[in-house]
Every structure is written in structure tokens, then in C-alpha cells.
Amino acid sequence: MNGLGGLNRSPQGVVVGLVQLQLPVVATPAELAAQTDRIVATVAKARANMGTMDLVVFPEYALHGLSMNTDPAIMCRMDGPEVAAFRRACVDNRIWGCFSIMEYNPHGNPYNVGLIIDDRGDVKLYYRKMHPWVPVEPWEPGDGGIPVIDGPNGCRLGLIICHDGMFPEMARECAYKGAEIMLRTAGYTAPMREAWRFTNQANSFCNLMVTANVCMSGSDGTFDSMGEGMMVNFDGTVIAHGTSGRPDEIITAEVRPDLVREARAVWGAENNIYQLGHRGFSAVKGGAGDCPYTYMTDLAAGRYRVPWEDSVQVTDGTSCGLPAPTRRYGQAAPNRDGDAARQDAAE
């Protein structure tokens, strides 16, 4: 399947490159512009590195680094120069790209956004991180669900970001919407290495889905990111793995969405994504299609509460130096550029 990392590509294959990008320090508009140029140059490097590559994937925080700086001066906008540069890089190099930006939000904290851009420069997927890594990350929780798109060479492609992958529901949602390949971009550091590995494999196996996962790499003088570019097949086996953590190394492999489709159609044992909604089909026709899971029904009803709720000690970001929020989810921040106040008045 791997075809020597994608060098020998099959007609049905999708060749993916995972960039273990050197962790940057970005605190000023000038540094943001320089890092944008560096990412653009790496897109060209990926194309030169492997002419068969369909999709180059950059980690979360590739543009902004791990400072968690929410300064509006270095936040991105979809019509801004950073996204325009990424779109042009995909066109110039005839390649699909997955990119990470922190997006300015006039109605609250910035969004942690993942983009997939096709080889014609069109933004095909826009995703706001659903599960910021609390208590560390200050980003607004995503409000747009998990999109799945038609990707290169006819694959169905989804994207989640870092901590999202620790929630099995996120990968399940991607698969339920038809994703055959799920990207997981991350800024994780070394303490997360083992959890990163086994969740990537579980996300693949439990959903009969290829996962392509990559972190930042190297040190910014404070944090040490781990690289760990990791391609996992739909049966949970690792196809390619950047275990050295070498900064700027591109981990490549060919994956086969057609074999994902075959497994989902013909597997009996361990076709878990199908069997979740068809419990015990050997005993009852079509299986049981109910929802016997209390946490699902409680979450849907807005009453999710764990039995130890009252003993949970970390419920905001103050332990990481962030101010305690006062705004409820869905409420606009007052008077930010005046936009939020105007929106509230309109509503």
C-alpha cells in the first residue's frame, strides 16, 4: 500500500505529505509575514520533494507558534494576506494544502481554524476547532461542526485539530459523514507522545478510516514539540511514522481510499462504525437501532453532567494565567470594534 512513501503511486492512491514544521516564534506582524513566507516555501519544497504528492499537511500552530498570543495585530482574516499566500502556493505548485491559522473574531476570542485549499486555490474546507485544549488554550470553541469534503483523487476528506482527536466522538463524526481520510493537525509537545500514538490508531481502527496526523517539531526556546508525523491505515496499523522528530522533515505515504470503501462494505467482524447503529444484527433483523447511551441523550438534551461534576477543580483557564470568562457560549463579546454591540442590537 505505501508504495515506498508514495514514490510508486497507484491510480487509486492519495499521496499525503505531513510536515513536521519547526516550531516558530511569532509575536509581531513582521514575524507573521516571515512565517507565512516560510510555509509557502515549504509547499514548494513538498512538491519538489515528491512529484506524486496530492496533499501537503501543515501542523496546528504552523503560522502562529505556541505562545497563545491573541493580539489582534497578528490574528488572521480569511480575506487577509496569509490565506491569499497559501492559496497562491497551492496554485503555483499544483497541490492541495492543509493550513492552520488563528482567526480574528470580533464577537469573542479568536478561532483556531484549519483550512484545506485545493490545487486551484479554492478553500474547500473551513473548520473551527471544536475542543480547544483547556485550560491552556484561549480559543473560542468551534461552532460549525465537522465538515467533510471531496478531496484529491476522489477521496472523502475530513479535518480535526489536536485535542479534538482525544474525543472518540470527533473521529466517529468524520467517519459517519463519510470521511475515508481524516487529518489531525497538532501542536502537541512531548508529554502527549503516547496518548497521541494510541488515539491515532484507535481513531482509525474504530472507524475503518485512514488517519494522517502531524505535530509541530523542535523548540521555540520554551516549548519542545515532538513532530510524530503518523499515517495510520484503516485497520489501525501504522503505515509511516516520523519517530525522529526532526524539524521540517516531511513524512510521506500513499493511502488507498478505495480499500477503505471496500472494508466498510465487506467486513463483518469489527465493522464498528456500521455496527454501532445495528446492535446484535445476528439476533434481530437489522440490529437494534436505539440509543442506549446516557451520555449521548443527556448531551443532546443539554443536561450533560458527570457523576463527579461537583468535585472538578479546573473549570476555567485561570490556572494557566487566563482571565476567568464571564460570557456564555453564543454570547458576543461587548464592544469589540463595535461589531458585537451592533450585532446584539440587530438581534
Q: Please tell me the predicted confidence (pLDDT) of residue 332.
A: 86
Q: Calculate the CA dihedral of residues 269, 274, 275, 281 and round it to 10 degrees.
A: -90
pLDDT tens digits for 135-162? 999 999 999 999 999 999 999 999 999 9
**182 and 258 share one domain:** yes
Counted domains in the chain: 2
pLDDT in tens, 111-128: 999 999 999 999 999 999
- Return the residue matching grid coordinates 499525503: 16
Q: What is the pLDDT of residue 5?
A: 85
Q: Is residue 282 part of a domain?
A: no
User: Model's pTM, two decimal places?
Assistant: 0.94
Domain, as residue range, for 75 = 3-275
Of 275, 308, 335, the residue at which a domain comes to its end is 275
Residue reference for cell 464592544: 335
Q: Which of 90, 103, 129, 254 is catalytic?
A: 129
CA distance 157 to 151: 5
The answer to whether position 165 is within a domain reads yes
pLDDT at 2 over 90: no
Q: Where are the beta strands (DSSP E) in the chain?
A: 14-20, 55-57, 96-103, 111-117, 123-128, 148-150, 156-161, 181-186, 210-215, 217-219, 224-226, 230-232, 238-241, 249-255
Same domain as 180, residue 92: yes
Answer whether residue 327 is part of any domain.
yes
Say which of 60, 82, 140, 180 is annotated catalytic: 60
In a shared domain, residues 66 and 205: yes
Average pLDDT rounded to a whole number, residues 320-333: 92
Q: How confident is the model at residue 244 (pLDDT cuts 50, 70, 90)?
A: confident
241, 275, 309 - which closes a domain: 275
Is 322 within the bounds of a domain? Answer: yes
Q: For residue 245, is it within any domain?
A: yes
Average pLDDT over residues 60-79: 97
pLDDT band at 211 (very low <50, low <70, confident <90, very high): very high
- The reply to whether 281 falls in a domain is no
In a domain, 284, yes or no: no
Q: Are residues 217 and 162 part of one domain?
A: yes
What integer is the mean pLDDT of 279-290?
98
Whether residue 96 sits in one domain with residue 239: yes
pLDDT at 333: 82
For residues 47 and 191, membership in a common domain is answered with yes
* Over residues 46-74, mean pLDDT: 97
Q: Does the residue 255 lie in any domain?
A: yes
Preceding omega of 135 cis (within 30 degrees of 0): yes
Claim to verify: residue 95 and residue 124 sit in the same structural domain? yes
DSSP calls for 278-318: SBTTTTSTT-B-----HHHHHHHTT----TTGGG----SSG
- In the set 162, 174, 180, 228, the catalytic residue is 162
Quick check: is 60 catalytic? Answer: yes
